[in-house]
């Protein structure tokens, strides 16, 4: 894995150039990159208003470079009424004043590149904000107007059109249709403030091609494609399961993973390939692995988030199955596998793993007692082991801000503080995702713990003082120290990153042991069982070759439960 310093100015070479093809053949930088998700609103507040922003992030870039990640993915910072944390975009080419200015963004890209960090931004093509100029024009222009054709407007069913056009259900709860005063309904797979765009309309594709170029021209290295599986809808098909979908991809639906989306990504790939240095894109598509692989075929996107670990219970055979299935699915199309334990849509894994169950997007489970009452120490121990597993696997790893501090989910946010539309739209039945979005603790003994000079948009728990970056820097055994060391080793040990995986453990073993061949090779062992275990399986001699462990081994060299270790051989 190498970090190159690259020019911030893209060099257009007009279409699918031979150099772009050659790059693809050599393998993209993203094949083994460690990409750190910055939830901008909660990372660092540069102007003291309680909300994180771009200049706050600039002031903390050194922290990220020192931690040892390769790239940052920034959640949306565009002009937005913030009905869904910025995933409701009112202007795709403007920075919201909450987050700063376009100049701040340019500063950020330049400062990140100076430190060898690449910048990936979020693109939200499935829907915009109801405050977007197009939607406002559509509302004003009335039924049957060309302005409405850029969205999905329909008359209702029933005698007076009082029923929604079909039974599609919003991912955030409630019907996926909202009726305007003039009687027409419009589709929104998420909140009513997020009208879905009609991707069969030529204006939509043309607009997004231009938006992509706007940001690529500003030097971004990659795009994270929001709801990549949602852009094309099949109307007129039978309604999905009764009650609609309750998560992003739990049911086969006429509005997710339709074949037509792939044409869009082929077009986007040819735009990305116009640029040098290389630009990449990662799909957010909640679909089964075999379908996910279709998004990363050679002429489509470079990566797709692999969310399988989010749903995998803490059991060695199940983890192994997930790993094998993931590697197999992506190898089939020659794409790298990605690995994800947490993001801004799911329960932080330091809490989720304590309960041992899989999580789901939308914060499902965050109000479930078993998870809420889960043992913090156990969750952290497993999360530390999971970090070493994640970073030892072949492919690219996504980290979510704060996981390097071992932050738990915040379960007890007061209802009035909660801002996720999931909470309101389900009448509080689902807690939503605010609990994983609480601003980071950087230093000091009182909130906002160095997050900024004012308050923080979500309250931070009192016990976060000891989890702050500064507090953890003091402790050699802290979770921050573990991540930092593991990330350095991942760079230094050539066997890690892209490449092959060979199992040493049996498929039903409670301890996962695999090797990443190389000189030296690296063996990763993770004990997901309940008893300390010997890692030596005859062929592996561990003495003196332990390079890192998530928690200490026993005095006689056994791997305790919920501990992972790397050895060189
Ligand atoms: C996925 C994003 O990660 C999530 O935060 C957002 O609510 C939905 N897409 C809708 O844009």
Cα–ligand 1 centroid distance for 254 (angstroms):
19
Distance CA 262, CA 300 (A): 7
Residue 159 is predicted with a pLDDT of 97
From 190, 191, 255, 421, the mutation candidate for ligand 1 (largest count of ligand atoms within 8 A of CB) is 190
Cα–ligand 1 centroid distance for 422 (angstroms):
11
From 77, 82, 85, 87, the mutation candidate for ligand 1 (largest count of ligand atoms within 8 A of CB) is 87
Residue 365 is predicted with a pLDDT of 47
* pLDDT tens track for 318-370: 999 999 999 999 999 999 999 999 999 988 999 989 887 665 554 444 445 56
For 356-421, the DSSP string reads TS---GGGTTTT-HHHHT--HHHHHHHHHHHHHHHHHSSSEEEEETTGGGTPPP-----GGG---H
Number of C-beta neighbours around residue 162 at 10 A = 10
Cα–ligand 1 centroid distance for 87 (angstroms):
6
Cα–ligand 1 centroid distance for 431 (angstroms):
16
Give the atom of ligand 1 at the shortest distance from the alpha carbon of 126. 11
Residue 253 is predicted with a pLDDT of 82
Assess whether 274 carries a catalytic annotation: yes
CB distance 88 to ligand 1 below 6 Å = no
Give the atom of ligand 1 at the shortest distance from the alpha carbon of 87. 11
**Nearest-CA residue for atom 10 of ligand 1:** 87
Catalytic residue among 273, 274, 345, 404: 274
**Nearest-CA residue for atom 5 of ligand 1:** 345
- The answer to whether residues 168 and 255 touch, using CB atoms and an 8 Å cutoff, is yes
Q: Which residues contact 304 (CB under 8 A, 6 or more apart)?
A: 228, 282, 283, 284, 285, 292, 293, 295, 296, 335, 338
**Nearest-CA residue for atom 2 of ligand 1:** 226
- The answer to whether residues 113 and 103 touch, using CB atoms and an 8 Å cutoff, is no
Cα–ligand 1 centroid distance for 227 (angstroms):
7
Provide long-range contacts, Cβ within 8 A and 24+ apart, for 504-507. 504/537, 504/539, 504/540, 505/316, 505/320, 505/537, 507/317, 507/320
Name beta bridge partners: 36: 72, 399
Residue reference for tokens 């043992």: 375
Catalytic residue among 53, 84, 226, 434: 226
Q: Count CA atoms within 13 Å of residue 331 on its CB side.
A: 11
* pLDDT tens track for 229-259: 999 999 987 666 555 554 445 556 889 999 9
Residue 359 is predicted with a pLDDT of 57
CB distance 37 to ligand 1 below 6 Å = no
CA 491 to chain CA centroid, nearest Å: 22
From 37, 127, 227, the mutation candidate for ligand 1 (largest count of ligand atoms within 8 A of CB) is 227
Residue 370 is predicted with a pLDDT of 63
Cα–ligand 1 centroid distance for 111 (angstroms):
27
CB distance 562 to ligand 1 below 6 Å = no
CB distance 227 to ligand 1 below 6 Å = yes
Residue 481 is predicted with a pLDDT of 98
Cα–ligand 1 centroid distance for 285 (angstroms):
11
Residue 413 CA: distances (Å) to CA of 122, 346, 436, 553:
27, 15, 11, 37
**Nearest-CA residue for atom 3 of ligand 1:** 345
Cα–ligand 1 centroid distance for 274 (angstroms):
28
Cα–ligand 1 centroid distance for 238 (angstroms):
26
Assess whether 62 carries a catalytic annotation: no
Number of C-beta neighbours around residue 262 at 10 A = 17
Residues 445/448/452/458 CA torsion (nearest 10 deg) = 160
CB distance 190 to ligand 1 below 6 Å = yes
- The answer to whether residues 95 and 104 touch, using CB atoms and an 8 Å cutoff, is yes
Overall pTM surpassing 0.75 (yes/no): yes
Mean pLDDT of the chain: 90
From 173, 193, 226, 419, the mutation candidate for ligand 1 (largest count of ligand atoms within 8 A of CB) is 226
Residue 542 is predicted with a pLDDT of 57
Distance CA 252, CA 241 (A): 8
CB distance 226 to ligand 1 below 6 Å = yes
Residue 11 is predicted with a pLDDT of 34
**Nearest-CA residue for atom 4 of ligand 1:** 345
Cα–ligand 1 centroid distance for 135 (angstroms):
19
Residue 368 is predicted with a pLDDT of 59
Below-50 pLDDT ranges, the chain: 1-25, 246-248, 362-367, 538-539
Taking each helix axis from N to C terminus, what angle separates 376-392 and 479-492, rounded to the nearest 10 degrees?
A: 10
> Residue 433 is inside which H or E element, if any?
none
CB distance 513 to ligand 1 below 6 Å = no
From 84, 125, 307, the mutation candidate for ligand 1 (largest count of ligand atoms within 8 A of CB) is 84
Parallel, antiparallel or unpaired: strands 153-154 and 185-187 = antiparallel
Name beta bridge partners: 511: 527
Residue 23 is predicted with a pLDDT of 43
For 489-534, the DSSP string reads HHHH-TTSSSS--EE-S-TT-SEEEEEE-SSS-EEEEEE-SSS-B-
């Amino acid at each position: 894995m190498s970090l190159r310093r690259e020019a911030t100015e893209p060099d257009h070479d007009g279409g699918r150039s031979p150099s772009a093809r050659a790059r693809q053949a050599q393998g993209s930088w993203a094949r083994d990159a460690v990409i750190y998700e910055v939830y901008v609103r909660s990372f660092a507040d540069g102007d003291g208003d309680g909300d994180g922003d771009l200049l706050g992030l600039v002031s903390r870039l050194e922290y990220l470079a020192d931690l040892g990640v390769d790239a940052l993915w920034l959640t949306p910072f565009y002009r937005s009424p913030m009905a869904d944390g910025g995933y409701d975009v009112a202007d795709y080419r403007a920075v919201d004043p909450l987050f700063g200015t376009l100049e701040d963004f340019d500063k950020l890209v330049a400062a990140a590149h100076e430190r060898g960090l690449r910048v990936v931004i979020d693109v939200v093509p499935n829907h915009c904000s109801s405050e977007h100029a197009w939607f406002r024009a559509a509302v004003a222009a009335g039924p049957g107007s060309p302005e409405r054709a850029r969205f999905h407007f329909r008359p209702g069913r029933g005698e007076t059109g009082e029923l929604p056009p079909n039974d599609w259900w919003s991912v955030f709860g409630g019907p996926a249709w909202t009726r305007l005063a003039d009687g027409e309904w419009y589709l929104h797979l998420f909140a009513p403030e997020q009208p879905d765009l009609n991707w069969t309309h030529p204006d939509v594709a043309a607009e997004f091609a231009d938006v992509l170029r706007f940001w690529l021209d500003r030097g971004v290295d990659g795009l994270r494609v929001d709801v990549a599986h949602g852009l094309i809808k099949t109307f007129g098909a039978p309604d999905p399961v009764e009650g609609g979908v309750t998560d992003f991809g739990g049911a086969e639906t006429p509005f997710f993973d339709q074949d037509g989306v792939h044409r869009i990504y082929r077009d986007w790939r040819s735009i990305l390939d116009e640029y040098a240095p290389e630009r990449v894109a990662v799909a957010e598509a909640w679909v089964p692995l075999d379908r996910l692989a279709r998004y990363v075929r050679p002429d489509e996107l470079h990566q797709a988030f692999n969310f399988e670990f989010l749903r995998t219970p803490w059991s060695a055979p199940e983890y192994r199955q997930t790993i094998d299935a993931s590697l197999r699915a992506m190898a089939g199309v020659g794409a790298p596998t990605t690995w994800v334990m947490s993001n801004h849509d799911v329960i932080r894994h330091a809490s989720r793993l304590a309960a041992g169950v899989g999580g789901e997007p939308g914060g499902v489970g965050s109000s479930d007692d078993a998870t809420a009452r889960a043992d913090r120490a156990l969750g952290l121990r497993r999360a530390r082991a999971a970090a070493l597993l994640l970073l030892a696997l072949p492919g690219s790893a996504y980290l979510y801000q704060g996981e390097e501090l071992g932050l738990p989910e915040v379960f007890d946010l007061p209802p009035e503080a909660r801002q996720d539309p999931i909470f309101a739209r389900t009448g509080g039945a689902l807690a939503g995702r605010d609990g994983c979005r609480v601003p980071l603790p950087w230093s000091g003994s009182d909130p906002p713990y160095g997050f900024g000079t004012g308050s923080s948009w979500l309250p931070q728990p009192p016990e976060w003082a000891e989890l702050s970056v500064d507090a953890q820097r003091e402790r050699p055994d802290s979770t921050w120290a573990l991540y930092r060391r593991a990330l350095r080793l991942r760079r230094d040990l050539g066997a890690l990153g892209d490449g092959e995986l060979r199992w040493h453990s049996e498929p039903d073993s409670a301890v996962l042991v695999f090797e990443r061949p190389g000189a030296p090779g690296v063996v990763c062992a993770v004990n997901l069982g309940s008893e300390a275990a010997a890692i030596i399986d005859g062929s592996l001699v561990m003495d003196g070759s332990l390079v890192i462990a998530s928690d200490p081994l026993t005095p006689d060299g056994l791997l305790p439960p919920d501990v992972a270790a790397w050895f060189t051989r």
